[in-house]
A and B are shown apart, each in its own frame.
Chain A
Amino acid sequence: MSFMGLNLLTIAYLLGSISFILGLKMLSSPATARKGNLLAAAGMGIAILATIFLYRDNETGEPLGNYGWIFGGLLIGTVAGTLAAKKVKMTAMPEMVSLFNGMGGACAALISLVEFSHISGSIQRSGIHEGHGGTVLIILLGLLIGSISFSGSMLAWGKLNGKVKDYSFAGQNVLNLLMLALALVATVWLVIHPESSYLIYVVLLLSLIYGIMFVLPIGGADMPVVISLLNSFTGVAAACGGFLYDNKVMLTGGILVGAAGTLLTILMCKAMNRSLKNVLIGSFGATASGAAATSAQGHYKEISLSDAATVMAYANKVMIVPGYGLAVAQAQHTCHELEKILTEKGVDVAYAIHPVAGRMPGHMNVLLAEADVAYDKLQEMEDANEGFKNTDVVLVLGANDVVNPAAKTDPASPIFGMPILDVELAKTVIVNKRSMKPGYAGIENGLFFQPKTSMLFGDAKKVLQDLCSEIKNI
């Protein structure tokens, strides 16, 4: 029976591994993405159930015990995870991903802690064996990477929901590298002298602090990139567990995510036309002050609600440029409402979608889809830039850096080289913002001071509601 069971376990793990590879493949194409996610989930379910019921210890052949604890953890985790994932608002989804990622990292770190105490116990009883060095190394790597991923993800989560501000000081990079080096030295020392078991807490503490310090100076707009990077870290931490237990499904799943996550991180940077090094080390704030000084001067003009309503109602073509402000205000439904009212008045309305508008790539597509905006109304950046010259009014809703002309004109600007939406090509530009405060990148926007631009201050939802009622009355 136990032989049969182990064979079944092997097959279950094989199925799990295949489902992860296929699932990831399907996730990278729009038509199959959803099925891919479900396939990977099914594979995961099979692997988990098979582990619970079919796993046998290598040496003793014993099945797993403590079913009450296992099912208790699974049950609470499932209920809490489902509720959290179902209840979370669209705007908070990147935060949620970061939070879940941190949970995975913590899980890997906890496994390492328990396994280390096992191995150091056996060393105390029967001395050091030759194989211990490699095992201790894997355990410590799992702990190191898992802890960095955990504390880093928690901080990224705090940053995205606004609880933690960016903070950097001189010599931070040096201090960070020093801490990482110390953690690695402690790791190597432990591998050679596994009996100095207290050092594991040094490794744990240093990597937790390192995770925080590593994310602390990075700007909020770059958080998706950081989360993606930490995501691949957790993948590697999971793979360490796979190495430790000689467990192929953990190994394949972990390495797969580690590799794909690293590539995805680089692709995300490319979409913003930045390098990973630039995101991680050259944090936005350092160069922003120079660029801000040059364009901060100048006057902007405000437009009243009724004027804005009139201009839009009598336009032939209106392009809406949504940004993070729209997402924060949860104004996507009101925005769709405005689009319908304008369309009824015979205005041609479309949305210009910048690929990295918002807090995550594709944020605006998801947000507007939630409000049932028709797919063909959403124009990608290239098409939108073609269309702006025939556009009468561009309504910028809480977007800032993605329409900042400095990306094209000012080589000193930190966002120089990032592709932007050329809203200036349109006849008039109306910008809705809460205040004149610069956007997430912390840079002034020359667009706001141009003669054809007028500002419409206020919360996006409130302003859109007022616009809707004004336009209805025209």
Chain B
Amino acid sequence: MPERTLQLICPAGSLPALKAAVDEGADAVYIGFRDATNARAFAGLNFDDGTAQQGVRYAHERGARVLLALNTYPRAGNWQRWTAAVDRAARLEVDAVILADAGLMAYARRAHPQLALHLSVQGSATSYEAINLYREQFGIRRAVLPRVLSLAQVENVVKHTEVEIEVFGFGGLCVMVEGRCLLSSYTAGDGPNTCGVCSPAKAVRWSETPAGLESRLNGVLLDRYGAQEKAGYPTLCKGRFEVAGATYYALEEPTSLNTLDLLPQMQAIGIAAIKIEGRQRSPAYVAQVTQVWRAAIDACRAAPHAYAVKEQWQSQLNRVAEGQTHTLGAYHRPWK
């Protein structure tokens, strides 16, 4: 078997971000259409057919691939919008579509047998048994793992499937299994599975009060900040709450994932691709992050035993990560 080389998969929420990722050495970029058919259905973000076509051409001319996320769950009443999106993706000649819904996979397989299929992280497949079901049924080429497995568990998945395994390496961190989190819809109505949003901006309210700056989601107090505290976007699972008399980040701190340290291990266990989260981020962010990860992957590939995270990489990442703290997440067992 040929040695698998670790690919770098970068986010693009706009044409300038796509160009930035390609220019800085992404092996592939992933994009979405401008509606609820993908899990970053944010206002002002994403691609229509025109910009997608330009993006595909730009990437292909420079040897990069384009993956299209159609990774939300269609309902009976809006099913056609999702199948039409699969048709559009096929016409655009993207290199693969990233799907979560097996019903939609069946459609794609039937209508566009040449279209490569990836299983989205939103498909919640955390074991080789689940992944191999999609392989047998739909011939998926790649699966993106939810951010819940330790590295040893990821390695076990890789060993037991022909499907390429992609993992998240950097960016926002879902503390819940992707595709199995309804906290947003419980609180605000719209959630990731069917609407492609989490803690939607339209339901967020900020207010200055005598007790401090408060963030609310559909009226529910997510956090309250003192004068010296930095307030980030009020993502539901990263607020402070009261449990048994203690007030703390009961689910997760406002931290993000950074696995630069784990790169040699990720390469050694046969992971096919590392995904950078952040289609909602600016082109400048995408450029910086892609640059660092390209350099890190190249260094790791050239000399895995001599690999060490450079201070310059970390400072470059810290500059764009707005002073956020980083975690190794579930890859590192004590996080659990």
Indicate, yes or no, whether A interacts with B.
no
List chain B positions with a Cβ less than 8 A from chain A: none
